[in-house]
Structure 1
C-alpha cells in the first residue's frame, strides 16, 4: 500500500510526504482547504493554486506552498504525484500517486454533480481508489440543486414579504459560495459574515460569478433587516451579531447542508428550514 495511517495522518514513505495531515509535518500534499483536510503549520504545501489561495486567506499570507497544475506530475521521492479536479469546492483535488507501476488515487471530498463554483470532477483510472464516504449510506440521494435553489429563493421571497430577515447557515468556504451563486439577488440585498469575505475574493479572482454582497455589520444592518438574506456560519447563531439583523417580524434560519437529508439533524440544529445541498 502506497499510503499508511500514522499519528500525523496518511504517510507515503516512498514519496516522503503526507496527504491531508492532521498535525504539522515537513511536506503536505493537500486535497482542499477545508479545516479537516488542511492543517496550518506544515513546512511546505503542495496543492492546487486555488487551494493555496484559500489557505493563505485562512491561515497566513506567508504560507510556504507550491501550486500544482491539473494533471501535471511532480516527482516526489520514488513517486509521481499529480492533481485532478474533485468537484467538491473551488480548487479541490484528487491526488494520484504512481510508484513502481502501482497507481493509487486519494479522492478527498468530491462531488460529481454540476456546480458553477467548482472545477468538474475528473475520473482518474487507478489500481486503488481511496475514497471519502461522508455520505456513503444509501439514504443519501440528492435532489436536483436547481429545485433546491428554487425552494431557497421562494422561502426568502416569502420571508421578505412578511418583514422577516432570511438567514442561510453554511460552511464559510465552499458551500457559502455555492449558495451565493444560486441566490436570486432581485429579491433583496445579500449580506455575508466576515468569515466569507476572504474566500469570496478568491472565487471572484478565479472568475467565478457571485452576486454583489454587503459585509453584514452595523453599517449594513438597516439595509439587510427585514427583506435581506444573510449567509453566515452556524457559529453565528444566537450571537448579538446575528440579532442586529432582525426585521420587523424577526428572522428565520435555514441550514444548508447534505446533513439536512436526516430529519433528526434539522431538529437538533433547531432551525426553521433545512435545505439539502
Structure 2
C-alpha cells in the first residue's frame, strides 16, 4: 500500500485525500512549516502545528482557513490516522506520521537535530517507510557544534565592534534569524533587523517565543545587523557603514558556495540535518524502506542500497529553490491570500482513543 505518492502538486495521500506541502493550491493541505517552498497560497484548508499558525497567517494572510493539531495527538482522516511530531527545523515544523491497516509512514519535512532555543527539538518516529529530506545529503556536509560556531560569530562581532565596523549577518528571514537573535550576546551593542525579519519576529512572539528586543533606529557603525541577502547595498544599510558581511548557512561548508555568495566570510549553521544526522535518523526510524526527497537524492539512494536498505527517490512538483530565492519570496511577497477561497471538507476529527484497526471505511462526518 502506498500511503503517499508523489504528484505534480506534491505528496498526495490517496486514502485520506490530502496533500503534504503541496506546490500548488489544493483542497486540503498539511503544511510541515511556513517556509515559502512548503506553504503555498490558495488551499481550501490547512492543517499544521498550533505554533505554526501565526507564521502561516503572516505569510499567507489572516483570512486562510487553518487549524492546528497538537503535537502527538492523532486524527483520523478517512481511512488513515495522522499525527504531527516535532521536526526541529523552525518554529512549528513537523513530521507527518500516517498509519493505515498496521502500516506506518513518516514524511519528515525539513528537519535538524541540533539544538535551537526557538523551536521544539526533533523527535524520532519509528515507521515502516520513511520519506526524508536530503538537502545536504553528501558526506562532505558535517556541521560543527552549534555552540562552537556561535562563539566564532561572537568573536567576529567583538573584533568588528572594537574597530567601529558593523557586523552584517545574512540570514533567512524565517528560522535562522530568530535562532541567532535568541542566541547572540546582548552586550556587543544594539542588534538591528530588516523589516522582513521583524515581521516574522512578531509572529514568533505571537506563538509564545521570547525574543530579545531589537533596535528601532537606523543601524550605525559598530552595530550588529541581521538582514536578508537582498538588502545588501540598499539605502537602509548605508548608515551601518563601514561593515563586514557574513552569510550564515550550511552552504558555507564549501568554499565554492562562499565564493558564489560573494562574501569573504561564512558561518556554518544550518536548519537542516547534516550527513551524520541524516544517517542517524534513518537508523533510529527502523524503516524498511526509505525515500529521499530534495537535494542529493540519487547519492543518498545509492549509498543506502549499498548498505542493504531498500531506498528510492521521491520526485514531486515542489521546486528546488535556492535559499536566496526562498528568502526573496518570504521577504518581499507578503501579500495576503484571498479570503474568498471555496469551502472544503475538513481534515478529519481529533481522536486520542486507542487505535482500532483501520478498514478504509471509517470516514468521519464531513470528509
TM-score range, shorter chain: over 0.9
Larger Rg computed on CA atoms: 2
1:263 aligns with 255
- Which ranges in structure 1 are unaligned for 5 or more consecutive residues? none
CA distance in 2, matches of 1:273, 1:228: 18
Q: Aligned-residue CA RMSD in angstroms?
A: 1.2
CA distance in 2, matches of 1:62, 1:56: 8
Higher mean C-alpha displacement, 111-120 vs 89-98: 111-120
Post-superposition Cα deviations, 1:81-114, rounded to whole Å, max 9, x if no partner, equal: 1100001111100000111211100000111122
Instruction: Give the corresponding residue for 2:365.
Output: none
Deviations 1:168-189 (A, max 9, x none): 0010000100111121110100
User: Distance in 2 between the 1:34 and 1:157 partners?
Assistant: 32
What stretches of structure 2 of length at least 5 have no aligned partner?
Answer: 270-367
Match of 1:66 in 2: 67
Q: Distance in 1 between matches of 2:96 and 2:230?
A: 31
What residue in structure 2 maps to residue 251 of structure 1? 243
Cα offsets for 1:192-234 (capped at 9, x unmatched): 011112221232344433222024xxxx12xx31111010111
Query: Structure 1: how far apart are the matches of 2:175 and 2:74?
Result: 26
The question of whether the paired residues in 1 share the 8 Å contact of 2:54 and 2:204 is answered with no
Q: State the partner residue of 1:82.
A: 83
How much has 1:51 moved relative to structure 2? 1.4
- In 1, distance between residues paired with 2:223 and 2:71? 39
* Residue in 2 that maps onto 1:146: 147
Instruction: Give the structure 1 partner of residue 129 of structure 2.
Output: 128
After TM superposition, the score normalised by the length of structure 1 is 0.94
Tell me the residue number matched to 1:233: 228
1:251 and 1:158 map into 2 onto residues whose CA distance is 12
2:267 alignment partner in structure 1:
275
Q: Which one has more relative contact order, counting CA pairs under 8 Å at least 6 apart?
A: 2
* In structure 2, C-alpha distance between the alignment counterparts of 1:127 and 1:230, rounded to whole Å: 45
Residue 298 of structure 2 is matched in structure 1 by: none
C-alpha separation between the residues in 2 aligned to 1:26 and 1:132?
24
Q: Compute the displacement of 1:65 (Å).
A: 0.5
Equivalent position of 2:346 in the other structure: none
Q: Give runs of aligned pairs for residues 19-58 of structure 1, distance below 5 A.
A: 19-58=20-59
Contact 2:54 2:206 in 1 (8 A): no
Q: TM-score, normalised by structure 2?
A: 0.71
Tell me, in whole angstroms, the C-alpha distance in 2 between the residues paired with 1:76 and 1:235: 42
Distance 1:185 1:61 in 2: 33
Deviation at 1:23, TM superposition (A): 0.4
